[in-house]
Amino acid sequence: MTDPTLPGRGAEEVASRSARRAQALRREQELRDQTDAAAQAQLERALKRQRTWSQGAEGERLVAHTLGALERYGWTLLHDVRQPDRQLANIDHVAVGPGGVVVIDAKNWTGTVTTEGGVLRQNGYARTKETDAVGLQAASVAALLRPEHRTAARGALTTVAHDVEPVQIGPTTVVGRAQLGPWLLSLPPRLTPFDVAAVASVLDRELVQPRDARAPKAHGRRRGATKMHDPSRGTAKMSKRLASRGRQLATGLLRLGLAALGVVALIAYGPAIASWIGDTFASLLTGAISSP
């Protein structure tokens, strides 16, 4: 215990309080630094994500511009459409033309891109996941087509900033943007102009148009709109008509039966009735003659 009579006791207490205060302030500063570091890291991630998506969007615009030159050669182009089997995923481009249906994924990568040994690499990292994903996109689009058109669908991964000659890697053709147009034009003919129009119409309906516009309304009909056929109504009307015809037939058979019964009775009892009528008429005639 500190002796209260010792010199400097008060100063020592002030120094102790100051030390505790300084320690608390250092702790607060450490917490602020940690918070600031976390916020800075989050900001850097957001900026990197923004740069990546902006770079990707620019790549898609460049590929769309390249594909636009194919329209004069009978190709129809769809850009930034839904992926059929995934709720929120999209497909960058779909080209429909004489060479078939080509699902195209644009990659605006930086660094080095190689395709040696049957593996696509970007900055030394294998991009097998990306090539497989394009193959799955092509398969999902092919499933929307008629059976005779499904084999004409294929996938392509286009490197926007790198020259790559067309090479098949797994289910996907990897090709540079500069080589994309000539490669598409070199594909063997698979679709006639009529097939191109039919396939493009199906894909526009399934991948581009709003889902609500493609599904028939179950209730609520605007004035002048086409009335939807209800099979149950037709069945009910047919049942009523059959029941009415059944009643008519039963009534006709009853009348016919009564008429037939009357004929049989006339044949069986006709002589007796005729004799009774004759006797009755003779009796009346005799009575009339004998009356004064």
162: in domain: yes
For 186-221, write each residue's pLDDT tens digit.
999 999 999 999 999 999 999 998 765 554 444 344
Q: What is the model's pLDDT at position 186?
A: 97
Residue-wise DSSP of 1-57: ---TTSTTHHHHHHHHHHHHHHHHHHHHHHHHHHHHHHHHHHHHHHHHHHHHHHHHH
Stronger pLDDT, 292 or 88, i.e. the higher one:
88
221: in domain: no
**In the predicted model, is pLDDT for residue 236 greater than 60?**
no
Identify which of 204, 201, 187, 179 has the alpha carbon closest to the alpha carbon of residue 98. 187
State the pLDDT confidence band at 229, using cuts at 50, 70 and 90. very low
Task: Please state whether the predicted TM-score (pTM) of the whole model is above 0.75.
Answer: no
190: in domain: yes
Q: What is the model's pLDDT at position 18?
A: 84
Asked whether 158 and 65 are in contact (CB, 8 A), the reply is: no
Average of per-residue pLDDT across 146-152: 96
**In the predicted model, is pLDDT for residue 22 greater than 60?**
yes
Stronger pLDDT, 33 or 44, i.e. the higher one:
33
Could you tell me the strand order of the sheet in which 121-122 lies?
A: 113-114, 121-122, 125-126
Q: What is the model's pLDDT at position 263?
A: 47
Q: What is the model's pLDDT at position 59?
A: 86
Q: What is the model's pLDDT at position 214?
A: 52
87: in domain: yes
**CA distances in angstroms from 115 to 135, 161, 163, 238, listed in the order given:** 17, 15, 11, 69
35: in domain: no
Domain that holds residue 157: 60-211
Average of per-residue pLDDT across 220-241: 45
Stronger pLDDT, 97 or 37, i.e. the higher one:
97
**In the predicted model, is pLDDT for residue 97 greater than 70?**
yes
State the pLDDT confidence band at 28, using cuts at 50, 70 and 90. confident
**In the predicted model, is pLDDT for residue 46 greater than 60?**
yes
For 111-131, write each residue's pLDDT tens digit.
999 999 999 999 999 999 999
276: in domain: no
Q: What is the model's pLDDT at position 77?
A: 97
Q: What is the model's pLDDT at position 246?
A: 54
Q: What is the model's pLDDT at position 209?
A: 83
Q: How far apart are CA 209 and CA 91, in angstroms?
A: 14
Average of per-residue pLDDT across 165-169: 97
179: in domain: yes
**In the predicted model, is pLDDT for residue 151 greater than 90?**
yes
The number of distinct structural domains making up the chain is 1
Asked whether 218 and 230 are in contact (CB, 8 A), the reply is: no
CATH code of the domain in which 78 resides: 3.40.1350
Give me the percent of the chain exceeding a pLDDT of 90.
49
Average of per-residue pLDDT across 17-30: 86
125: in domain: yes
Query: Which residues sit opposite 77 in a β-bridge?
Result: 95
Q: What is the model's pLDDT at position 67?
A: 96
